Amino acid sequence: MEKIVIEGGNRLIGEVSVSGAKNAILPLMAASILVDGWNVIRNVPSLRDIKTFRDLLLHIGCEVDEDPEEKTIRIRAHEITSFEAPYEMVKTMRASILVLGPLVSRFRRARVSLPGGCAIGTRPVDVHLMGLKKIGCDVTLEHGYINVKADRLIGTRIYLDIPSVTGTENLMLAGVHAEGVTVIENAAMEPEVVFLAESLNRMGAQIRGAGTDTITIEGVRELHPAEHTVIPDRIEAGTFMIATAMTRGNVLIKNCPLEYLDSLNLKLKEAGVDVRAENSGVRVIGDYPLRSVDIKTLPYPGFPTDMQAQMMAMMTISSGLSVITETVFENRFMHVGELKRMGADIIINGNCAIVKGVERLSGAPLMATDLRASASLVLAGLVADGVTEVSRIYHLDRGYENIEKKLSGLGARIKRINSE
Ligand code: EPZ
């Protein structure tokens, strides 16, 4: 079992590059099911979730050609041999649900395991299924599987009770071949949703309004493959911004999509961190004492839930009291217990965590529970006295490419060991 071992106390100094966005790549890999030819995706990092999705595409009959050197993945759905996403694959990654929309769109049928819950919540898919029913699908649930079939897909207005990110993406993918116009209201507005709409339009779709709460999809008969270059990962970028601030560092984060990080940027400045655009990136300087700030996670453009755990790590050593409210997921405080083992002063009250800044954290053996929680433990280890060991780092590898290499390149004393 691999672990990450950190000796805290070093400032992060230097330059680091942000990789392609996992949450933009996965829906685009799913979109490749819609076309017979080779869909080309560039700027693809080596991440566990991307490998998992690749295996799912191979399982249903897609051909996948990867070039890790070129960070490129090519996908062709020439002959789909299965319309089923099995439980063994879906249970490891909820985003597998994204094959539902394209399979229904192109083949009018799909059988996808219900994703089940995960560490951060029950994570139902009712929004996805409601939308499919609205455009004419027959949806039944049996033996833990979602069975979908449709004779015709008819465009209509769909209102999402929750602006679900993958729910919006699935329904866009389902609507591209529906007859007439499909309007998704209360749609998610994340940059990754916009990227998917732009990518589908490159493939011949007619989608307007992505990035607003109303997305209009005019059904077309045929799509064609295209070449796509993935947007940078705003969550990875934000993670490095916070790491720099916490260690009182000075780092240029290259190709950092600051335009997608407004809410984080404002909160970092409120906390006393110097953030400024420089060349095609962002320079972060954490010379100043950190002030506690209050955070409330919200759908985009609100403060991202995927940055909550990392921001909490920073608040554990800021001067004052911070109230962190998690409104998106029902159980996204799994990192609190581990941070408290390092001496953090945190009280949970429902979906609020009250964080009182302490002088120093102390290193300890910790266990990662989910992707972003594991990132927050690494950040805490960077500033803690002594040695911190983070186990179960397969959570980390789902969404961060070589994080220990990138951090040690900035001066952190961090390494990956095999604990056997
Ligand atoms: C996407 O998950 C991201 N994953 C998540 O990133 C991110 O945390 C989340 O959006 C919120 O921004 C991908 O894009 C692959 P949701 P998704 O549907 O689409 C409830 C990471 O760290 N809900 O927007 O699954 C749900 O339970 C991952 O990279 C319903 O009730 O999130 C949750 O409480 C973690 N019914 C809330 O809405 C539904 O049908 C937001 O979920 C769908 C969702």
In DSSP terms, 215 is beta-bridged to 184
Residue with tokens 């602006």: 163
- 96 and 152 both lie in a single domain: yes
- 76 and 204 both lie in a single domain: yes
CA of residue 248 to ligand 1 center, whole Å: 32
Question: How confident is the prediction for the chain on average, in pLDDT?
Answer: 96
pLDDT in tens, 173-229: 999 999 999 999 999 999 999 999 999 999 999 999 999 999 999 999 999 999 999
Catalytically annotated residue among 62, 118, 137, 352: 118
What does the pLDDT read at residue 1? 85
- 239 and 328 both lie in a single domain: yes
CA of residue 128 to ligand 1 center, whole Å: 11
Banded pLDDT at 279 (limits 50, 70, 90): confident
Mutate to test the pocket of ligand 1, among 165, 173, 372 (most ligand atoms within 8 A of CB): 165
> Distance between alpha carbon 33 and the CA centroid of its chain, in Å?
21
Using CA of residue 354, residue 329, residue 256, residue 335, what is the dihedral sign?
positive
- 159 and 281 both lie in a single domain: no
Query: Which residue has its alpha carbon closest to ligand 1 atom 22?
Result: 306
CA of residue 274 to ligand 1 center, whole Å: 31
CA of residue 162 to ligand 1 center, whole Å: 10
CA of residue 94 to ligand 1 center, whole Å: 9
Mutate to test the pocket of ligand 1, among 328, 333, 351, 403 (most ligand atoms within 8 A of CB): 328
- Residue 190 gets which letter from DSSP? -
pTM for the complete prediction?
Answer: 0.97
How many domains, in total, are found in the chain?
Answer: 2
- 213 and 260 both lie in a single domain: no
Mean pLDDT of 355-375: 96
For helices 22-31 and 165-175, angle between their N-to-C axes, nearest 10 degrees? 20
Query: Which residue has its alpha carbon closest to ligand 1 atom 18?
Result: 164
What atom in ligand 1 is closest to the CA of residue 166?
A: 19
Range of the domain at 396: 2-19+232-418
- 187 and 291 both lie in a single domain: no
CA of residue 218 to ligand 1 center, whole Å: 26
Query: Which residue has its alpha carbon closest to ligand 1 atom 16?
Result: 164
- 369 and 298 both lie in a single domain: yes
Query: Which residue has its alpha carbon closest to ligand 1 atom 6?
Result: 306
CA–CA distance from 379 to each of 40, 132, 202 (Å)? Answer: 34, 41, 38
What atom in ligand 1 is closest to the CA of residue 126?
A: 40
Banded pLDDT at 292 (limits 50, 70, 90): very high
- 106 and 135 both lie in a single domain: yes
- Which one of 172, 207, 229 terminates a domain? 229
Distance CA 347, CA 337 (A): 10
What does the pLDDT read at residue 57? 98
Query: Which residue has its alpha carbon closest to ligand 1 atom 31?
Result: 124
SS3 401: coil
Q: Which of 150-159, 282-291, 357-366 has the lowest mean pLDDT?
A: 282-291
- 245 and 394 both lie in a single domain: yes
Banded pLDDT at 116 (limits 50, 70, 90): confident
Mutate to test the pocket of ligand 1, among 93, 100, 306 (most ligand atoms within 8 A of CB): 306
- Which one of 229, 263, 285 terminates a domain? 229
User: Does a cis peptide bond (omega within 30 degrees of 0) precede residue 301?
Assistant: yes
What atom in ligand 1 is closest to the CA of residue 190?
A: 12
Does residue 405 contact residue 339 with C-beta atoms inside 8 Å?
A: no
Pocket around ligand 1 at a 6 A CB cut-off: 22-23, 26, 94-95, 121, 123-128, 162, 164-167, 305-306, 328-329, 371-372, 399
pLDDT at 119 over 80: no
Mean pLDDT of 379-383: 98
- 214 and 289 both lie in a single domain: no
CA of residue 165 to ligand 1 center, whole Å: 6
Q: Which of 85-89, 107-111, 115-119, 406-410 has the lowest mean pLDDT?
A: 115-119
What does the pLDDT read at residue 21? 98
The burial of 126, by beta-carbon neighbours within 10 Å (0-12 exposed, 13-18 middle, 19 or more buried), is given as exposed
Q: What is the CATH number of the domain that holds 35?
A: 3.65.10.10
- 104 and 8 both lie in a single domain: no
Distance CA 142, CA 119 (A): 24
Percentage of the chain lying above the pLDDT 90 cut: 94
Tokens (6 digits) for 290: 């950190």
What atom in ligand 1 is closest to the CA of residue 169?
A: 19
Distance CA 350, CA 334 (A): 13
Mean pLDDT of 89-101: 94
- Amino acid symbol at 201: N
- 123 and 237 both lie in a single domain: no
pLDDT at 315 over 80: yes
What atom in ligand 1 is closest to the CA of residue 371?
A: 22
- Which one of 229, 263, 288 terminates a domain? 229
Has 62 been annotated as catalytic?
no
pLDDT at 259 over 80: yes
